Chains A and B, each alone.
Chain A
Amino acid sequence: MAETFRSLPASIDETVALLASAGYVADRSLATVLYLALRMGRPLFLEGEAGVGKTEIAKVLASALGRKLIRLQCYEGLDVSSAVYEWNYSAQMIEIRLAEAEGVADRVRLGEDVFSERFLVKRPLLQALEPDTAGPPVLLIDELDRTDEAFEAFLLEVLSDFQVTIPEIGTVKAEHPPIVIITSNRTREVHDALKRRCLYHWVDYPDAARELAILKAKVPGAPARLSRQIVAFVQSLRSEDLFKAPGVAETLDWATALTELDAVELDAATVSDTLGVLLKYQDDIARMQGSRVKELLDQVRADLRAPA
């Protein structure tokens, strides 16, 4: 396939480099699956806990490849008119009134005129099928688990053929299919039929080294020593028995918050005061508050001192 757009990465190593160039620290498994999705023209289905950076992947990909990012945020009740297209009824009405006033009698022509692209309101899915000078866009279908089964079934057709049928106009088919990234937080299971059409990847919490690299890339102002402590603390917090473990997004927020507070080192009081940045459930905060924070902190300090 000869393309005139900015070229896609030609190997897994190039994919890693591409993501790194846009400030995303990816592990090799993610780069592999992303590379395959790009090469094979398949949607990529990303699952994982909230805040591990699933949505970020689509954003980074769009900016690194210089493509347009089109985002479809899912919610219960999402239907074709807000996901694909809608007619601009008021403009159509005015057009008809004007035609009446002018005494146009040709009803067939009027009908064709009113149902032309001029009156079509394009929603994300239809936009994604349109040609773009920069190349096929990145289509992000975010939090698919929030829609209902009916919409999921509708997506099946769009994702396998990259075409949409508008009764009044005809079938719109993408010349070059968009790059599709689908994310899910697993608040419910997505149907196997949809997953079958995609490449699947479970985005996990990063290990300490990678999380530190992410932190350095995203919050460059944070002192090195503090950053290491932050990562070590969050990593040990994730192994605690919590209702919702902190994600990477929370780590970054926390690092920013602590930097703003001019902290140079973690201490029990600061951690307790800022725990709300990391933990979003009262039960979890109550569980960690007080002595448990100090225990974890002592352990983190000991670990950091030990091997170097």
Chain B
Amino acid sequence: MTAEGSMRADGRLADNIVHFARALRAAGMRVGPGTVVDAIRAVETAGTLRREDFYWVLHAVLVKRHEDHELFDQAFRLYWRKRALLERLMAQLMPTAPGDPNRQKDEVRSRVADALLKNEEREPRRPKPKVEVDARLTLSAHEVLQRKDFEQMTAAEIAAARRLIAAMILPADKVRTRRLAPSPDGRRIDLRRSFRASIRAGGMIDLKTRAPVERHPPLVAICDISGSMTQYSRMFLHFLHALTEVRKVSSFVFGTRLTNITRQLKARDPDEALERCSGLVADWAGGTRIGSCLHEFNRKWSRRVLGQGAVVLLVTDGLERDGRDALGFEMDRLHRSCRRLVWLNPLLRFDGFEAKAGGIVTMLPHVDEFRPIHNLAAMADLVHALDARRSAVDDPRKWLRRQMAA
């Protein structure tokens, strides 16, 4: 296709679009060079434009995710004013943000402003703390490490534990899908391939078969990061990071608010991944509101991430004080939208743990499994549990029954 008159716009507009795209990229949107060329072409295609049309033309090409709409909107308004006006406006906009209740908007705005104004002054990356570990763990030391509570580990032990997590054999919990693939011991006849083979063999019927493809069901982890859970959650995030490399995992953390950290966990290096997460999460080690966070998950995310028969890992101590009706309702909703709901609770490490706290009693009837998650051994057990069918040992009803008896 020839872009007739493509350079007719004397290059000024094209330049401006390029700069605008660069600003969007700096503000965190994914805008590739191909997209920028598209944008210029689109503006040319649309011809002379009203301001509103110009907005939607650029929007059509540059915005690929609904979440980016807000960012684009603000960047557009800031950028496509007269240049002199732009700077003055920014100066006014930046320091004074008088108690805006809409915090997220503010956040976006400052990201955009940052991107437009100071491209160079990025905060230098902090050097990662390095922990030297004695690699020659003796067998007994290894054993100790397996049983040690995450909360009591030293920095060196945590580093060693992280290595063990990374080396853990991950669950083989494949399920059948409806997609078929060639397989010599499949049970369904693959007509297309059989026919071709028969022609090749000169009329001899050569039956080929196919079988359903097996894949890991997606995992969804919802992780409590309130004060009492900090250490466990961090270790669990390492576990999730290792899993994310080999299968589809959607990860969320919550304290007082729910945050999706799936994209952040995809960074190759676990330290970097966790650093990105903590950069994103505002309420690390704060309070917790399980009910309202599950509500948000159910409303905003459940239909998007639980679609293909997902297994949900809910990591929390279940210490919720208020709103028990709401909590039960949301747990029920969550339970009904997934294949299997596993509750991981570090409090279970105590012998004689009893489901007495209100939140726990409310949540227990709605989960398929109830497991401890406080040391490496428990984590390894979880891996086994994920590939097996449901086990009676961890049946949540056991805990409820014991409580009834007491």
Residues of A within 8 A of B (CB): 11-12, 28-29, 32-33, 35-37, 39-41, 47, 75-77, 79, 81, 86-87, 89, 92-93, 96, 100, 107, 111, 114, 145, 148, 150, 185-189, 192, 195-196, 199-202, 241, 243, 283
Give bound CA distance, A32 to B41, whole Å: 14
Bound together, the chains give a CA A283 to CA B299 distance in angstroms of 12
Contacts between chains A and B (CB distance < 8 A), count: 98
- CB-defined A-B contacts under 8 Å, sample of 10: A29-B56, A32-B56, A39-B46, A188-B304, A188-B307, A192-B64, A195-B64, A200-B63, A241-B299, A243-B298
CB pair A187 B304 closer than 8 Å: yes
- Contact at A87–B192, with CB atoms within 8 Å? yes
What's the nearest-Cβ distance from chain A to residue B213, in Å? 8
- For the complex of A and B, list the 6 residue pairs with the smallest distance between their C-beta atoms, beginning with the closest: A77-B178, A32-B56, A33-B60, A187-B307, A195-B64, A202-B66
Interface-side segment among B15-23, B29-37, B145-153, B158-166: B29-37
Across-interface contacts of A86 in B (CB, < 8 A): 192
A12, B57: Cα distance in complex, Å: 10
Known contacts A192-B64, A196-B32: A186-B53 contact under CB 8 Å: no
> Nearest Cβ in chain B — how far from A154, in angstroms?
12
User: Min CB distance, B169 to chain A, in Å?
Assistant: 25
Interface string of B307-332 (1 = CB under 8 A from A): 11000000000000000000001000
Q: Does B305 contact A (CB under 8 A)?
A: yes
Chain B contacts to A: CB under 8 angstroms:
1, 30, 32, 34-35, 38, 41-42, 45-47, 52-53, 56-57, 59-61, 63-66, 69, 177-180, 191-192, 195, 199, 202-203, 298-299, 303-305, 307-308, 329, 333
Residues of A within 8 A of B1 (CB): 41
- By DSSP majority rule, is chain A's interface helix, strand, loop, or mixed? helix
- Residue in A closest to B332 when the chains form the complex, CB atoms: A283
Known: A92-B195, A202-B66. A28 touches B56 (CB 8 A): yes
Contact B66 A89 (CB under 8 A): no
CB-CB under 8 A from A29, the residues of chain B are 56, 59
**A199 close to B192 (CB less than 8 A):** no
- Set of chain B residues within 8 Å of A37, measured between Cβ atoms: 60
Residues of chain A lying within 8 A (CB to CB) of residue B30: 192
Residues of B near A283 (CB, < 8 A) are 329, 333
Closest to B329 in A: A283
* Most B Cβ at <10 Å: residue of A36, A41, A145: A36
Tell me the smallest distance from the CB of B186 to a CB of chain A, in Å. 14
Minimum distance in angstroms from A109 CB to a CB of chain B: 12
Q: Within the assembled complex, what's the spacing in Å between the Cα atoms of A12 and B208?
A: 54
CB-CB under 8 A from A41, the residues of chain B are: 1
Q: Please, which residues of chain A bring their CB within 8 A of the CB of B60?
A: 32-33, 36-37, 199-201
Q: How far is the CA of A292 from the CA of B57 in the complex (A)?
A: 42
Q: Write the nearest CB–CB distance from B220 to chain A, whole angstroms.
A: 11
Q: Which residues of B contact A76 (CB under 8 A)?
A: 177-179, 308
Whether A32 lies near B308 (C-beta < 8 A) is: no
Considering the complex, give the chain A residue whose CB is closest to the CB of B248: A149
Contact indicator A12/B53 (Cβ below 8 Å): yes
Is the beta-carbon distance between A243 and B59 smaller than 8 angstroms? no
- Shortest Cβ distance from A44 into B: residue: B60
